[in-house]
């Protein structure tokens, strides 16, 4: 039961604060700024917090709008309740949600233009800035994507990271220890501080027969391994393409790999769920290796070779969806002078690459950076960048086939033109060149293209699923408890709405918050809440707005106990106390009580009218006419007296009402509800009204004046 204490009702919590902070904010946007053509953002002054009404396109008659969306919609309904509770002396502390600072809260709206265009956006802003109820009007700027930067000090000298858009890719996934990458090379230094913990030592093998899968004298394998997976964000040295991944050392020789060792490494990888194998080597073609490749369930990323030749090395040149041949690029987008270029699927950084070498080692052909780190060059360095990105792709979508991995690497690359030698016929043509168009690796686009969930990092222990990149999912969708090494705690509002091909949805117990309409229109797919006997009240009351069947720990909820609750401005329903799904829904009926609230600062007499579900609306007082000369004007509903009723409306049934307030569309909707007339009748009145009433907007008066049926009312003398 809501207490009655109209005198304590606060329309404005702090008039002074409000006036001082609500200076109109104008920032000059220009046509050259980057913003969307179809929308703009406005914030309203503090007064709008206390009018408890929704806004529609009719509230902005000076511009042609398709829609008005309140971005602060959810928050504002909480603010509204908080203000009402404050006014009625009800403590907000029982509320599970934290209290919102009303003084700093402002309502934010997105306005969608009927006629898109950057000029139209700027013109609309100019018009809206003249209104004193609008605090700011701004373009819908287009920003940059979220990035994640590691704290490894030497990462600033890894030019390949930004070049491949890895900081964007890492925001979606920085890798996972559940993805295995085989390094078929000269062995890895397992004691390197930037590789410790990344290597599966049990699975590592020496296929060259020496019985030692680790680094002996050739640092090549350690450098390659660091590019794929040196530990990221450990405040040490460099970061790999993957901050976190499982590396397996598959030694195929110290100085020179043998065909037997390479075939054995591929076969071993296949048998041990290593789905990404890096082969930074070339060797003579053998049927043994060809057969091993044909049986491999994964991708083998191969260096194209360093002989400045159109002919690429073996096995890079094998035509097979499992083989990705990689050429080398320098930081200026050119082919590294040594790189082969013929059968190359993808180009990646291979010139001047900083990575790990065993501490204390000072190998030739490597340029020292610091102890344990050095630069070197080669298609051997380009291949592990690609292998690393394939591992990132598998971390967001483990079910990708070799063909899908290769296709997505190539289709999401950037096209660049590189120059290659083109020896002519005549001796004097020896230094002729030609340009070829090739594909340059883009880690972000490749990962995004295969990621199932679009996520946002809210904290080191909180991932929010925003949506599915507009992709249609089919069948069973299992939301993982972890994404990007953080627990999935939040499913955003509308996250899976309109996924009409789903047959089952599984939600892990890590998810503690689900927004409104998260599973709206999802084919009535059963929703399984794992490890829960009830839905927590941090699930929005409209989380399951389409009423999908809900299974709690495998048991179908039969909604035996319910509570009548307000759903939104127009509806209430019986909410299941167990799974928080509405069982039945109907329109509010605001006839339980009408509490006089006095006169608002705008001079309009208002009262609150309540529904039995507890929902209330603030509506202007109305008084039925005619009444006798000399009568005081008494609100028909709350009984409070008011003066200066300037506005009158006549309903189709002949009844007329007066009010202090101009009868806007939204107000009338509330009035119609209030007037105990049937829904059909209300709809009739509303449709008649919206099609026949014209509004003339006068900015200097800053109010909506009626021009037809609704007339200015002069009280009888
Ligand atoms: Zn590191
Ligand atoms: Zn239920
Ligand atoms: Zn209700
Ligand atoms: Zn009233
Ligand atoms: Zn009168």
Q: How do beta strands 433-440 and 65-70 pair?
A: unpaired
Weakest mean pLDDT among 83-92, 208-217, 299-308, 328-337 = 83-92
Q: Which of 446, 471, 496 is the last residue of a domain?
A: 446
- What's the mean pLDDT in 110-137? 88
Task: Give the pLDDT band of residue 293 (cuts 50, 70, 90).
Answer: very high
Q: Which helix (H) or strand (E) holds 182?
A: strand 180-185
488 neighbors 465 (Cβ within 8 angstroms): yes
Domain membership flag for residue 35? yes
pLDDT of residue 601 exceeding 60: yes
CA of 486 to the centre of ligand 2 (A): 29
Here the ipTM equals 0.74
Q: Does residue 235 come out as left (phi exceeding 0), alpha (psi in the -120 to 50 range) or beta?
A: left
Q: Give the CATH number, domain containing residue 265.
A: 3.40.50.200
Distance 441 CA to ligand 1 centre (A): 23
More confident of the two residues 527 and 36:
527
Is residue 155 a part of any domain in this protein?
A: no
Structure tokens at 263: 């075939």
Nearest to 182 by CA among 279, 255, 320: 279
pLDDT for 87 = 64
Task: State residue 188 phi and psi, 5-degree precision.
Answer: -110, 145
Most confident of 235-249, 465-479, 634-648: 235-249
**How far is 594 from 617, CA to CA, in rounded Å?**
10
Same domain (yes/no): 243, 354: yes
Residue 536's pLDDT band (cuts 50, 70, 90): very high
| Interatomic CA distance for residues 136 and 41, integer angstroms | 8
> Residue 660 and residue 620: Cα distance in Å, rounded?
7
**Are residues 632 and 576 part of one domain?**
no
Strands (E) located in 378-461: 414-421, 433-440, 454-459
**pLDDT tens digits for range 151-170:** 999 999 999 999 999 999 99
Neighbours of ion ligand 1 (CB under 5 A): 152, 194, 231, 234, 236-237
Distance from residue 597's CA to the centre of ligand 5 (Å): 22
User: Comparing 203 with 61, which gets the higher pLDDT?
Assistant: 203
Residues measured by CB to lie within 5 Å of ligand 3, the ion: 572, 588, 611, 613, 615
Cα radius of gyration (the chain):
34
Ramachandran quadrant class, 34 (left: phi over 0; alpha: psi -120 to 50; beta: rest): beta
> How many CB atoms neighbour CB 392 within 10 A?
27
Q: Which runs of E-coded beta strand occur in 651-694?
A: 656-659
430, 512: one domain? no
> pLDDT-derived band of residue 419, with 50, 70 and 90 as boundaries?
very high
Tell me the two tokens of residue 589.
Answer: 């009926």
**699 and 673 co-located in one domain:** yes
Residue 32 lies in a domain: yes
What would the two tokens of residue 133 be?
Answer: 């109820």
Question: In degrees rounded to 5, what are phi and psi of residue 607?
Answer: -140, 165
Lowest mean pLDDT among 64-78, 309-323, 654-668: 654-668
Query: Quick one: 390 and 489 in the same domain?
Result: no
Ligand at minimal distance from the CA of 606 is: 4
Annotated catalytic residue, options 192, 207, 220, 588? 220
CB 114 within 8 A of CB 64: yes
Q: How many whole angstroms separate alpha carbon 351 and alpha carbon 405?
A: 25
Answer for the pair 206, 367: CB distance below 8 angstroms, yes or no.
Answer: no
Alpha carbons 224 and 192: distance in angstroms, whole number: 13
Within 8 A by CB and 6+ apart from 374, the residues are: 219, 223, 354, 355, 357, 363, 366, 367, 368
Q: Are residues 552 and 633 in the same domain?
A: no
What's the CA gap between 644 and 650, in Å, rounded? 18
CB 387 within 8 A of CB 278: yes
Ligand nearest to the CA of 642: 4
> Which domain covers residue 324, as residue numbers?
160-446
Residues 293 and 315 sit within 8 Å (Cβ to Cβ)? yes
The pLDDT > 90 percentage for the chain reads: 57
Are 74 and 218 members of one domain? Answer: no
Q: What is the pLDDT of residue 390?
A: 98
pLDDT above 70 (res 713)? no
pLDDT at 241 over 80: yes
pLDDT at 264: 97
Query: Residues 245, 370, 246, CA angle at the centre, nearest 5°?
Result: 10
Final residue of a domain: which of 394, 411, 446?
Answer: 446
pLDDT of residue 133: 83
Instruction: Specify if 150 maps to a domain.
Output: no
Does residue 357 share a domain with residue 216?
yes
Lowest mean pLDDT, pick from 316-330, 340-354, 679-693: 679-693
- Say which of 185, 194, 467, 540 is annotated catalytic: 185
Distance CA(327)–CA(337), nearest Å, equals 11
What's the CA gap between 135 and 105, in Å, rounded? Answer: 12
What is d(CA 392, CA 241) in angstroms, rounded to the nearest whole number? 8
Same domain, 537 and 655: no
Measuring CA to CA, which residue among 349, 185, 403, 363 is closest to residue 283?
A: 185
Rounded Cα distance between 358 and 271, Å, is: 29
- Active site includes 220? yes
Q: Which residues have a Cβ under 8 Å from the Cβ of 489 and sit 6 or more positions away?
A: 458, 461, 462, 463, 464, 510, 511, 512, 513
223 in any annotated domain = yes
CATH number of the domain where residue 559 is located: 3.80.10
Q: Of 446, 471, 491, which one is at a domain's C-terminal end?
A: 446
Residue 674 is a catalytic residue? no
Q: Determine the straight-line distance between the first and last CA of the chain, rounded to whole angstroms.
A: 42
How would residue 189 be classed by pLDDT, with cut points 50, 70 and 90? very high
Beta bridge partners of 468: none
Model confidence at 33, in pLDDT bands (50, 70, 90)?
confident
Q: Is residue 332 part of a domain?
A: yes
The answer on 549 and 471 residing in a single domain is yes
Tokens of 376: 């070197």
Cβ pair 206, 172 in contact under 8 A: no
Distance CA 483, CA 436 (A): 39
Residues 6+ apart with CB under 8 A from 678: none
Q: Which ligand is nearest to the CA of 154?
A: 1
How confident is the model over 3-24, as a mean pLDDT? 34
Quick one: which H or E segment has residue 501? strand 501-507
- Segment (H or E) for 425: none
CA dist., res. 603 & res. 601, Å (int): 5
Tell me if 122 sits within 8 A of 31, measured CB to CB. Answer: yes
| Among 92-101, 213-222, 330-339, 687-696, the least confident range | 687-696
| Residue 296 domain flag | yes
Distance 583 CA to ligand 2 centre (A): 8
Same domain, 520 and 627: no
Choose from 12-16, 328-332, 566-570 the range with maximum mean pLDDT: 328-332
The SS3 call for residue 608 is strand
Count of CA atoms in the C-beta half-sphere (13 A) of 616: 27
Cα 12 to ligand 4 centre (Å): 20
And the tokens for 146?
A: 């979220």
Tokens of 466: 């925003």
Residue 638 C-alpha to ligand 5 middle, in angstroms? 18
The C-alpha atoms of residue 253 and residue 34 are separated, in whole angstroms, by: 54
Peptide bond into 128 cis (omega under 30): no
Is 101 a residue whose pLDDT tops 80?
Answer: no
Task: For residue 14, count other CB atoms closer than 10 A to its CB.
Answer: 13
CA of 628 relative to ligand 5 center, distance in Å: 6
How many angstroms separate the CA atoms of 243 and 245, rounded? 7
557 and 620 together in one domain: no
Which pLDDT score is estimated for 49?
Answer: 82
Q: Which ligand is nearest to the CA of 673?
A: 3
Residue 690 resides in a domain: yes
What's the rounded Cα separation, in Å, for the pair 338 and 316? 16
Active site residue 332: no
Per the structure, the count of domains in the chain is 4
Cα–ligand 2 centroid distance for 578 (angstroms): 5
Give the span between the Cα atoms of 154 and 238, in whole angstroms: 5
């Amino acid at each position: 039961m809501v207490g009655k204490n109209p005198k304590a009702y606060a329309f404005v919590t702090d008039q002074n604060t409000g006036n001082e902070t609500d200076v109109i904010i104008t920032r000059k946007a220009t046509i050259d700024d980057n913003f969307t053509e179809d929308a703009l953002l406005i914030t309203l002054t503090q007064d709008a917090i206390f009018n408890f009404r929704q806004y529609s396109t009719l509230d902005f008659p000076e511009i042609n709008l398709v829609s008005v969306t309140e971005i602060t919609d959810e928050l504002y309904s909480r603010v509204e309740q908080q203000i009402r509770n404050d006014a009625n002396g009800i403590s907000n502390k029982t509320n599970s949600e934290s209290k919102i600072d009303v003084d700093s809260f402002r309502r934010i709206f997105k306005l969608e233009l009927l006629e898109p265009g950057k000029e139209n956006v700027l013109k609309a802003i100019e018009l809206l800035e003249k209104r004193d109820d609008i605090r700011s009007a701004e373009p819908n700027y287009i920003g940059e994507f979220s990035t994640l930067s590691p704290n490894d000090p030497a990462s600033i000298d890894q030019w390949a990271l930004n070049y491949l858009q890895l900081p964007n890719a890492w925001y979606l996934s920085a890798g996972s220890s559940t993805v295995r990458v085989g390094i078929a090379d000269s062995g890895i230094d397992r004691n390197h501080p930037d590789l410790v913990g990344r290597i599966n030592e049990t699975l590592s093998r020496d296929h060259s027969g020496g019985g030692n899968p680790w680094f002996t004298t050739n640092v090549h394998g350690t450098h390659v391994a660091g590019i794929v997976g040196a530990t990221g964000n450990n405040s040490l040295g460099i970061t790999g393409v993957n901050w976190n991944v499982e590396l397996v050392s598959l030694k195929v020789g110290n100085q020179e790999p043998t065909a037997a060792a390479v075939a054995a490494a591929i076969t071993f990888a296949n048998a041990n769920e290593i789905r990404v194998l890096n082969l930074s080597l070339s060797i003579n073609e053998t049927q043994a290796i060809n057969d091993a490749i044909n049986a491999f369930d994964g991708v083998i990323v191969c260096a194209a070779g360093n002989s400045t030749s159109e002919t690429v090395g073996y096995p890079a040149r094998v035509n097979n969806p499992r083989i990705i041949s990689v050429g080398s690029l320098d930081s200026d987008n050119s082919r590294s002078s040594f790189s082969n270029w013929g059968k190359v699927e993808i180009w990646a950084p291979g010139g001047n690459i900083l990575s790990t070498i065993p501490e204390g080692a000072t190998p030739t052909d490597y340029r020292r950076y610091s102890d344990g780190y050095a630069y070197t060059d080669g298609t051997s360095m380009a291949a592990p960048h690609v292998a690393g990105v394939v591992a990132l792709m598998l971390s967001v979508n483990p079910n990708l086939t070799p063909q899908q991995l290769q296709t997505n690497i190539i289709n999401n690359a950037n096209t660049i033109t590189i120059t290659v030698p083109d020896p002519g016929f005549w001796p004097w043509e020896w230094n002729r060149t030609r340009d070829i168009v090739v594909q340059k690796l883009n880690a972000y686009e490749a990962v995004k293209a295969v990621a199932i969930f679009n996520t946002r990092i809210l904290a080191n222990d909180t991932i929010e699923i925003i949506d599915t990149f507009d992709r249609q999912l089919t069948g069973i969708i299992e939301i993982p408890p972890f994404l990007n090494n953080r627990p999935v705690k939040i499913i955003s509002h509308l996250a899976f709405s309109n996924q009409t091909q789903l047959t089952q949805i599984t939600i892990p117990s890590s998810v503690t918050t689900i927004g409104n309409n998260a599973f709206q229109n999802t084919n009535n797919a059963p929703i399984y809440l794992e490890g829960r006997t009830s839905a927590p009240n941090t699930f929005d009351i409209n989380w399951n707005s389409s009423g999908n069947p809900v299974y709690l720990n495998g048991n179908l909820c039969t909604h035996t106990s319910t509570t009548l609750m307000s759903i939104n401005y127009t509806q209430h329903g019986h909410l299941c106390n167990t799974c928080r799904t509405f069982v039945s829904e109907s329109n509010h009926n605001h006839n339980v009580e009408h509490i006089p609230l006095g006169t608002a600062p705008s001079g309009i007499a208002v009262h609150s009218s309540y529904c039995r579900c507890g929902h209330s609306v603030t509506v202007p007082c109305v008084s039925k006419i005619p009444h006798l000369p000399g009568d005081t004007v008494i609100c028909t509903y709350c009984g409070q007296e008011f003066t200066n009723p300037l506005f009158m409306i006549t309903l189709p049934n002949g009844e007329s009402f007066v009010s202090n307030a101009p009868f806007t569309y939204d107000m009338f909707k509330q009035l119609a509800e209030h007037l105990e007339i049937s829904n059909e009748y209300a709809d009739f009145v509303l449709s008649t009204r919206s099609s026949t009433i014209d509004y003339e907007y006068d900015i200097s008066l800053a109010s909506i004046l009626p021009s037809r049926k609704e007339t200015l009312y002069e009280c009888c003398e």
